[in-house]
Each structure stands twice: as structure tokens, then as C-alpha cells.
Structure 1
Amino acid sequence: MSGDAGLFRARQRAGLATLARCWEIARRDGLRLGFTDHDRDLAFGGLVFEAGAGLDAGALERSAGLSVDNAQAVGALRSDRVSEADVLAGRFDGAEVRLWLVDWSDPRARVEQFRGGLGEIRVVGGAFEAELRGLAERLNQPLGRAYLRGCDRVLGDARCGVDVGLPALMREAEVVQAITRGAVLIAEDAAHAPGWFRGGALEWLSGANAGLAAVVREDRGEGVLRRLVLWSEAKAEVAPGDRLRVVAGCDKRFETCRDRFANALNFRGFPHMPGEDWVMAYPRAGDVHDGGPTHWQEDGHAG
């Protein structure tokens, strides 16, 4: 979908270019949306760019080196494909954005001006404002592993290796009562003790929040029901009958990895690293300095 930049420049030099801007927004759920500031729809790359959708952008700030390119996109919520509910639900968070300058009389002649992602999105008075972040933004993300006692992996990912789809570790249920957007009641489950899902991932399978996820803060029994409290409220209203999937919680400790998940071989932390008391230890008169256990290790202070 890169277009023919050479054809575009040739038409510009000949004074034949009739210009429009086209935007593509590719959400993380796979939905692709196209918009243009032209007065009729344009199509290229297998995508129709909707005219009059009310999307505009400020001047792009382009920078040399590794600085982050950025801009501001402003749109009226006029398109049937961009609703306030979807914006507030976070369905556009982290979406990929591409901007082309297009010769609308021949869309093959186009040049890509920007490629990046959506940052912070706000809804104000029936319109949305979205921060655009260039590809260099990814270079600001920390890489590598941290030297910590706790595991640095997400339960169930490739390096962890735990199969979170096993019935012992996962449960699907329907909401019996929505207390708030951040607390729901589901039927009690004898197969999983209260607290089993504390710290675990919750995914909404149906309802207004379908496809979105949260983290469980509390998991406690209340008679024949069970209360799940989330760290962050659901983006949209939760209703009785909404289905969810919740996975066992992992506190990243070696003991939990070994005893709850039988996964000690794949533990990605450093459970035996010395603590601060070892770093600050010093020789004492009367101690034996032969490389064997020292007094602080015998007292149970070793890492």
C-alpha cells in the first residue's frame, strides 16, 4: 500500500496534482478504517477511505535522529464506524495510524507522510482528540531483563510455558450481578478456592466490553456467589449475563511458580539473589572467614 511516490512527484512537478489526505487506522482487533478530507470516497490498497468523516490533523513535527515525531488528530464523531462508546472503551488505544498525501484524481500517485500509533485519546463535546506518536516512540520502551527476585514474564506467555487454558487454572462464567463497573458477582466455584484468581487476567467475552481485559484485585466468596473486584473499571457498562474468562493469579514469586503451577524450571526471576543485608555485610571479629556460611546466613537473612 506504499503507492507510487515517483508518479506523485512527477504530477506535482507538472502542476497536475490534485491533493487530498488519507488516513488509515488499524485497530488491534484487526479492524481497518479509512478516512479522507476529500469530498468523495477514495479507494486504494484494498481499503475505502470515507469522505467527510471529520478527521483532521495539526502540523506534523518531524525530527532528525531518534526524537519522536508527533502530531494531534482531531475528529468529529460523525462516522458510523467511530463511536464515542468505542473510543471510551479503549478499542482505539494503541491503533496503528498511517497518513498519505494522495492525488485524488489518480490514487496510485501518493506518498506516505506519517506512520505511527495513537497515544492518549480524549472525547470532548462530541469530538475526539488523539495524540499521534511516530515509530521512534518504540525506541523509548525499555528492553532487556531486570535483575529481580520476582519473575519478569506474563503468566502463560512463551517463556513462561504455563497452559492457562487448563480447567484447573481458568474459568468462564456469567455475571450474576454488576455492582459497579469494577466489581461483579459470579456463581461460586468449588473447583477454585477464594483468592485463586487474585492478580489474574480477566477478559470480557461478551457484552459492551467484549475483547477488553482487566486485572483482578480481589477474589472472595460471598455464600453462593463470588465477588471479583478489578484494579481498573470496565470501559463500558457491565450487565448481568455478560460472559468473562478469568485466569489464575501469579504473584511472580518462586514459591508460587513451584507450588501452584509446577513450573519452577521456567521461572524467569532470580530467587536466590542476595538481599541488601548481604551487600552491607562486613567482617566481624570472631567470625570464620573460610568461604562457608556466615552468621547472617545462619540467622536466615540470606537471599
Structure 2
Amino acid sequence: MSRTFFAAELDTAATWWRIFRKDGVTLGFTTHDRDLWFDGVLHRAAPGMLPSAVRRMSGFEDDPGDVEGALDHDAVRAEDLAQGRYDGARVESGIVDWETRTGATLYSGTIAGLRQEGGSFRAELSSAKARLAQEPVPLSSPACRAQFCGPGCGLATAAHSAIARVIAVDGDAGTVTLDLADAAPYRHGALRWLDGPATGLTTRILDTDGGVLTLAGRLDSSLGEGLRVRLREGCDRTVATCSARFDNALNFRGEPFLPGNDMLAHYPMPR
């Protein structure tokens, strides 16, 4: 069901926007003075958090926009911004009738950048049209271009994942000790926190030594033993590993035997 907004002098309309974070959390906000529930999402009244005017361009260029607000709102915390929970989050914005809950989506995109200024923040948005600037044809490369266990890889995530428990955390060294005898298969993989203050966050595994994992990024001092984590195996994106370890060379998305640019500098040598 749809309706025409602002067809009369007075209209029961409010602006809304949603943030779909990569850690699985969805936040909804509205300029109405009361919370609104529609489309399966609770949109909290946030008059102090406003999306800017979004310019809809007639061409293929990106539609610029941003959202700004105060950090004192219950749903937006400075520590979440610092942890990167909003980086790359998907954003939708639109208009809704607060009486009938009939609405329309006017904008969709992702958060391209965040700036924190004192007690407020500003999120720069990149619209879905920005994907039109990407090269549709992948460039050749000796390494595999597919994401491990993602589209094109063909391997199932469940078969290459495991749940472990934290024994110790060393924030200075950036390491986590798990109840595993050997975590070598997870080198170059990913660790996702299932418990504690970092729940939902994923970080890269740089190296392993027995049950000790070296992680990318800073470890929160509040992380401690007993927390559960989900590990996903890693791949160095070489055809040798794809074939010998995963028996998946058929799905290798790269050209390991294609001559490189150095072949242009070769010239024949007399025998």
C-alpha cells in the first residue's frame, strides 16, 4: 500500500532512518516525538539526530548525504564508534505516516566515514549508486580474488569454522590464548566474538602459535577468559593451498600461470 505525501496543507509525516551494522545490530530513528514501530524495527524518537538533505543526482555519480547527532543518545555510544561498529554499515532513510505507518524509502547507501567532534558525530554517506563506479570486469591476478567461503569459492563456512573459548588475553602483545592444541588452520582467518563487550565484532588473525592467536587491531582491556569466539579458517589465496589443503582448485579465482608484466622486458638470447 502506498500513499502520496504532502498532498494536503497538513500531513502526519515524519522522517526515519535505519542503520544496519555489520555486527548484526539494527538501529532505527525518527524525527517524530514518539517511538514508532513499523517494518519490524523500533524507530526511536531522536529529534537531536538529523539526516541532512540528500541530493539525488540525475547521472551515475554518487548521491552525497550525511547524518549528524549527539553521542548522548542511548543507542549511539562513543565506544561503539571507536570500535568500528558503524564502519561500512548499511543505511536507509525515508518518510512514514505516523498514524497509518505507511512509508517509503527515499535513500539507501553505506557509511563511508565517521567524524567525532566533542560530544557529537557526523557520518558521511555513500549511496548505492557508488557501486556503478566499480569495475564490472575483474582484473587478472596470480592470487585468488574470491573471498574465502564466499561467492565463487564454493566452500561451506560451517565446514571450516569452530567455536573455542578464551583462556587468556594479552592486550599489550595483541594475542588471545584459546583452548585449542593447534590453531594453525586459522592463520590468515577471522575471529568473531560471541560473548563479552566485543560481541559481534570480527578481527583478522595475523598469526598462530599453538593455541595462541595474534590478532589485528587493539584488544579491549575488558576482554577476559571464558568468552566464546567463532573461528573461521584462513587461506593465503595461492593455488597451491587451494589445491593441496582444500582440494578446491576447480574454483580458484585467479590466473597463477599467466605471464606477468616482466615478460615484456625479456628478449631472445643467442645460444
Question: TM-score by structure 1 length?
Answer: 0.75
Q: 1:58–1:178: structure 2 CA closer, same or farther, 3 Å change rule? A: same
**CA distance in 1: counterparts of 2:96 and 2:45, whole angstroms:** 13
Report the count of equivalent residues.
Answer: 271
Question: What is residue 132 of structure 1 aligned with on the other side?
Answer: 125
Q: Is 1:200–1:248's contact at 8 Å kept on the other side of the alignment?
A: yes
**CA distance in 1: counterparts of 2:221 and 2:7, whole angstroms:** 49
Q: How many Å apart are 1:155 and its aligned residue? A: 1.9
**CA distance in 2: counterparts of 1:132 and 1:114, whole angstroms:** 10
Question: What is residue 23 of structure 1 aligned with on the other side?
Answer: 17
2:267 partner letter: Y
Confirm whether residue 268 of structure 1 aligns to residue 257 of structure 2.
no
Q: Percent identity?
A: 35
Q: 1:9–1:216: structure 2 CA closer, same or farther, 3 Å change rule? A: same
Question: What is residue 51 of structure 2 aligned with on the other side?
Answer: 57
Q: Is 1:203–1:213's contact at 8 Å kept on the other side of the alignment?
A: yes
Confirm whether residue 280 of structure 1 aligns to residue 271 of structure 2.
no
Question: TM-score by structure 2 length?
Answer: 0.83
Question: What is residue 180 of structure 1 aligned with on the other side?
Answer: 171
The structure with the larger Rg is 1
Q: Structure 2, unaligned stretches of length 5 or more?
A: none
User: How big is each residue's C-alpha offset from its partner over 1:52-97, in whole Å with a ceiling of 9 and x where there is no partner?
Assistant: 4521133323322011112221112344333333333333333332
**CA distance in 1: counterparts of 2:59 and 2:246, whole angstroms:** 46
Q: How many Å apart are 1:182 and its aligned residue? A: 7.0
**CA distance in 1: counterparts of 2:194 and 2:237, whole angstroms:** 26
Q: Is 1:119–1:133's contact at 8 Å kept on the other side of the alignment?
A: yes
Q: How many Å apart are 1:107 and its aligned residue? A: 5.2
Confirm whether residue 250 of structure 1 aligns to residue 247 of structure 2.
no
Q: Residue 152 of structure 2 aligns to a residue in which SS?
A: coil
Confirm whether residue 90 of structure 1 aligns to residue 79 of structure 2.
no
**CA distance in 1: counterparts of 2:107 and 2:161, whole angstroms:** 42
Matches within 5 A, 1:97-136: 97-102=91-96, 104=98, 108=102, 112-136=105-129
Q: How many Å apart are 1:134 and its aligned residue? A: 1.7
Q: 1:218–1:99: structure 2 CA closer, same or farther, 3 Å change rule? A: same
Question: What is residue 190 of structure 2 aligned with on the other side?
Answer: 201
Q: Is 1:176–1:184's contact at 8 Å kept on the other side of the alignment?
A: no
Q: Structure 1, unaligned stretches of length 5 or more?
A: 287-303
Question: What is residue 74 of structure 2 aligned with on the other side?
Answer: 80
2:253 partner letter: R
Q: 1:219–1:29: structure 2 CA closer, same or farther, 3 Å change rule? A: closer
**CA distance in 2: counterparts of 1:132 and 1:77, whole angstroms:** 18
